[in-house]
Every structure is written in C-alpha cells, then in structure tokens.
Amino acid sequence: MARITAGVTTSHVPAIGAAIDLGKTKEPYWAPVFAGYDYAKQWIAEQKPDVILLVYNDHATSFSLDMVPTFAIGCAAEFQPADEGWGPRPVPVVRGHPELASHIAQSVIQDNFDLTVVNRLDVDHGLTVPLSLMFGQPQEWPCRVIPFAVNVVLYPPPSGRRCYELGQALRRAVDSFDQDLKVQVWGTGGMSHQLQGPRAGLINQAFDKEFLDRIVNEPEALSRVPHIDYVREAGSEGIELVMWLIMRGALDEKVIEKHRFYHVPASNTAVGHLVLENPQPG
Amino acid sequence: MALHKPYADVPGTTIFDAEQARIGYHLNQFCMSLMKAENRQRFKADQRAYLDEWPMSEEQKQAVLDRDYNRMIALGGNIYFLAKIFSSDGLSFQFAAATMTGMTQEEYAKMMLSGGRSPEGNRYKGEK
C-alpha cells in the first residue's frame, strides 16, 4: 500500500532559483539561505521517496485570468519547466505519476473536494525552486512529482480550514492506493511577504515563528485563522501560507519535527522551512 | 448586499479580488502576452501601438507607459501579471517593489537586509 511518510515545507522565492541557476549560492547574501537546507538534502537522500505530492501555486504562468482553478492536480506523465519570460529554468523535466494522480483525483472528488484535472501544465518557479532546494542540480529529479496547484493569486484563495481538510482527504486517497509507494507531501510558498503597494517589504518574524510552532503542534486551531489575519499580519502575498496546511492535514496529528529553518530576507521574502515525519507504524 | 471586504482598511495594500480582476482583465492579459519573445519585441518597438491592440482604458495604457505600478494596481493590475512588464524591461522584483514604496532600490534592499518593513503601525489605515 502507498503511505505518506513525511512532509516538507519551504518558501519558493524565484530569486532563490536564479541564485542556483547562476551559481551564486556561495555568495555572502545567499550562503545562509542554502545552508538552511543542508540537513534536508541529506535527509531526503536517505529517505528516497517514490513520489512527492507538491502543493504550490502558479504565478500567472500556466493559469492566466482565462481560467483560475482553486485546486488543480497534474495527472500527466511529464511537466515542462515553464518559460516565465526569460527562458525556462535549466532544470530537468518533471516526471509525474499518472496512476496515483488519477486515483487521488477520483478519491478526493468523491470525498467532496472538487479538483480540476490538468493534463497539460508547464510548472513555474513555485514548483521547481523547492525541488532545487531539496535536490540541488541533478541530471534527473530522483523521484516522481505530482503537481498540486492552489489559487492564491485571485482573492479569495481557499480558507485555511478547507486546505487542512483537503490534506486529510489526500491522506485517505494515498492510503487507499494499491502500489507500495513512499509518498511525501510538500507545502510551499510564504512566509511573510508583500510584493505590492506602499506596504511592500512587510516582514513579520513574530507571526512567522508562531506559525512554525503552531503548524507542527496545533494545526487544527491554526487552520481556523481567517484570511484577513494573514493579509494584515503576514502581507498580501503571505496568504500563500494556507498551502502549508494541505501538507499538514495529510500527516498524522502528532508528527516528529526533524528540522526547522527560518531566515530573513531572500529578496522580498521571509524563508521558512520544516521537515516533518509521521511516526513509523508499529 | 455588498460583499464584506475586511481587507479594505489595510494600509498601502490592494487586494486582487474578483472586482479588481474584472476591472483589470485586459491589462493583466496584455501582461501575459509579454511571456512570448516576439510580443516583447513588438511591445518594445512601439509600446503605444502594441497597447492600442488591447481593449484597455486610456488610464491603464498611460499607467503602463509611465511604469506607474501603484497606478496599474489601482486599475486592476495584479503584481504577478505586472511582473511580465518589469521582466521585459530587464528589472527585478526588488526594483519594482522599491518603486511602489517610493524608496530607491538601495534603500529598499537595506530595509530588507535589516529585517524588512515592521508590521508595527502598518496594520490599519490611520494607525500611528
């Protein structure tokens, strides 16, 4: 049977991708950011997941205003790195897991979460930067990846509560898949940041640190935080953090925190990163 | 009954909600068109002519020509779409963010390095 073994959260700042692609990771500005991922790189090399269910958002790349699905699951065999206006990132093609993805779609829709099924999807920095942070620069990504896109661009995004409960439905879907697979769920985006208007540059370290504590230890209560609190406290783009709750809902109620990292700034953004494991069964 | 918008009292912030998306639809779709190299070239060759191909308001077109990002946002633009304009100009997200705050890029970068803009005094309009 397939099982969810662990969860990872990370910011997905585009400038981090550019720093990797342009060989700037050792520069004084960037070195502390990448050092925060040393643990996770080693950890994931040992974990060897078969599939990552990667929760992210598209940034006006594959979804323009022509179509804005709230939740979309990528069911294709392959996803190309997107050209976001300056050529695609030099990263491997993302290989999907169509059997598991279509199983999840069918299970989760019957569980009252109306996903949009997507078979043609170029993936932008929201998905590829987390892969680069965790795996470095391999010739091929070492596992399959199912893109799970959440609208956080057009307000309102789904509520934290909805995201948390969707995570629980994803858990049930994975648990009922017959193949023997180790699956990780990643929640990406955040932490506090605002990219627009005279309030641009907002960072709220107190909010972020409390969020890191609560997503580990009291996700149920955290999932009830309303949108306005994210906007006011964590900035208009900080609302991406609701995506972390999908990851958390897919894990056990009690998890083992293996690693935590927090850093300000990466470009305009506070970087937050967690590695969480489900306790081993038995 | 009008929709409740609790975010209207957050200072220096425009939430890209359904109403803004309606107002800004063509502005944002114009931005999307700049993801293609041939469109970027045509836009750069004659910005006014390229903008005139889109059913945008005159105010929206002027805001693009002026690269006035706060104005574009007020007129329904969303920052992830507007990013296609400053990327076409070869400018960074940090440059664009700085222009919206009225700071130089250097001042803005310094603020970010020292921990960013504090939420203190920045949660509610009129707050001191």
Ramachandran angles phi, psi of A25, nearest 5°? -70, -20
For residue B3, is pLDDT > 90?
A: no
**Start-to-end Cα distance in chain B:** 32
The pLDDT value recorded for residue B128 is 66
Q: What's the rounded Cα separation, in Å, for the pair A163 and A249? A: 8
Q: What's the rounded Cα separation, in Å, for the pair A118 and A25? A: 34
A193 is catalytic: yes
Residue extents of the structural domains in chain B: 15-90, 91-121
Chain A positions contacting chain B at CB under 8 Å are 14-15, 59-61, 64-66, 83-86, 153-156, 192, 194-205, 207, 227-228, 231-233, 236-237, 264-265, 267-268, 270
Ramachandran angles phi, psi of A246, nearest 5°? -65, -45
Q: Which residues of A touch B29 (CB under 8 A)?
A: 64-66
- Quick one: CATH architecture of A3-277? 3-Layer(aba) Sandwich (3.40)
Whether B122 and A154 lie within 8 Å, measured CB to CB: no
Q: Which residues of B touch A207 (CB under 8 A)?
A: 119
For residue A21, is pLDDT > 70?
A: yes
The pLDDT value recorded for residue B17 is 97
Question: How far, rounded to the nearest angstrom, does the alpha carbon of residue A152 sit from its chain's CA centroid?
Answer: 12
Per-residue pLDDT reduced to its tens digit, A23-47:
999 999 999 999 999 999 999 999 9
Ramachandran angles phi, psi of A188, nearest 5°? -125, 170
DSSP labels for A65-108? Answer: TT---SEEEE-SSEEPBPB-SS-B-S-PPEE--HHHHHHHHHHH
Q: Which residues of A touch B17 (CB under 8 A)?
A: 154-156
Which residue's structure tokens are 């060759």? B45
3-state secondary structure of B75: coil
Q: Which residues of A47-66 are buried (b: 16+ CB within 10 A; e: fewer)?
A: bebbbbbbbbbbbbbbbbbe
**What is chain B's Cα-based Rg?**
16
- Quick one: CATH architecture of B15-90? Orthogonal Bundle (1.10)
For residue B75, is pLDDT > 90?
A: yes
For residue A115, is pLDDT > 80?
A: yes
For residue A282, is pLDDT > 70?
A: no
Q: What is the mean pLDDT of residues A110-118?
A: 98
| Catalytic position from the list A12, A125, A227, A273 | A125
For residue B30, is pLDDT > 80?
A: yes
Per-residue pLDDT reduced to its tens digit, B111-128:
999 999 999 999 999 886
For residue A281, is pLDDT > 80?
A: no
Per-residue pLDDT reduced to its tens digit, A236-257:
999 999 999 999 999 999 999 9
Q: What is the mean pLDDT of residues A90-103?
A: 98
For residue A269, is pLDDT > 70?
A: yes
Whether B28 and A65 lie within 8 Å, measured CB to CB: yes
The confidence band for A87, taking pLDDT boundaries of 50, 70 and 90, is confident
Q: What's the rounded Cα separation, in Å, for the pair A223 and A251? A: 14
CA-based torsion, A89, A272, A215, A179: positive or negative: positive
Residues of chain A above pLDDT 90, percent: 97
B89: nearest Cα among B26, B27, B47: B47
CA-based torsion, A18, A21, A25, A28: positive or negative: negative
Q: What is the mean pLDDT of residues A66-89?
A: 94
Q: Which residues of B touch A268 (CB under 8 A)?
A: 93-94, 97, 112
User: Nearest Cβ partner of B10 from A86, A201, A231?
Assistant: A231
The pLDDT value recorded for residue B2 is 78
On whether the CB atoms of residues A250 and A174 are closer than 8 A, the answer is: yes
Whether A59 and B80 lie within 8 Å, measured CB to CB: yes
Those residues with Cβ within 8 angstroms of residue A164's Cβ, 6 or more apart along the chain or in another chain: A219, A220, A223, A245, A246, A248, A249
Residue extents of the structural domains in chain A: 3-277
User: Nearest Cβ partner of A200 from B17, B97, B119?
Assistant: B97
Whether B15 and A60 lie within 8 Å, measured CB to CB: no
Q: What is the mean pLDDT of residues B3-15?
A: 95
For residue A111, is pLDDT > 80?
A: yes
Name which of A61, A63, A199 to mutate to probe chain B: the one with the most chain B Cβ atoms within 10 A of its Cβ. A199
Q: Is this prediction's pTM over 0.90? A: yes
The confidence band for A9, taking pLDDT boundaries of 50, 70 and 90, is very high
On whether the CB atoms of residues A251 and A7 are closer than 8 A, the answer is: yes
Q: What is the mean pLDDT of residues A126-138?
A: 98
The pLDDT value recorded for residue A177 is 98
Whether B16 and A85 lie within 8 Å, measured CB to CB: no
* Residue of chain A nearest B22, judged by CA positions: A65
Mean pLDDT, chain A, integer: 97
